Amino acid sequence: MASVLIIDDDDVARTVLLRTLTVAGHEAVGARDGVEGMARFRDHPPDRPVDLVITDIFMPNQEGLATIIELRRASASLKIIAISGGGARASLNVLPVAEALGAHRTLRKPFTPAEVMETVRSVLEG
């Protein structure tokens, strides 16, 4: 199974994603923002690198678009899924920008565990 890093400042969303992926047999670890996420990415054991990053877009300290750029610089082959509810007003759709920056797929919040698992499967197999 895959090693997955989940970066999301929403504690509930991050916990649900962690549980969903863990129940499916993946090794999942979470981070609250891009700064913490990049630290976890870099500190991950070299013999078990991160296979997939799922990152929210709107977060404090370092938002998701900057995190995607930094992840892409660190690993051209890393699989990335961007997620977003659209920001504070839920009207700003930056998911196409995330794809242009290197996200393999995007998911708009709210999503179901089945949608997450289908997207994860598709990205990991692709």
Domain coordinates of the chain in residue numbers?
Answer: 3-125
pLDDT at 56: 97
Q: What DSSP string runs through 2-58?
A: -EEEEE-S-HHHHHHHHHHHHHTT-EEEEESSHHHHHHHHHHS-TTS---EEEEESS
pLDDT at 87: 58
pLDDT at 92: 67
pLDDT at 88: 52
pLDDT at 46: 86
pLDDT at 85: 85
pLDDT at 93: 78
Q: How far apart are CA 61 and CA 123, in angstroms?
A: 27
Q: Say if domain 3-125 classifies as CATH 3.20.20.70.
A: no
Question: What is the edge-to-edge ordering of all strands in the sheet holding 105-108?
Answer: 27-31, 3-7, 52-56, 79-84, 105-108
Q: Pairing relation of β-strands 3-7 and 79-84? A: unpaired
Q: Are 37 and 25 in contact (CB under 8 A)?
A: no
Which stretches of the chain score pLDDT less than 70? 87-92
pTM score, whole prediction:
0.95
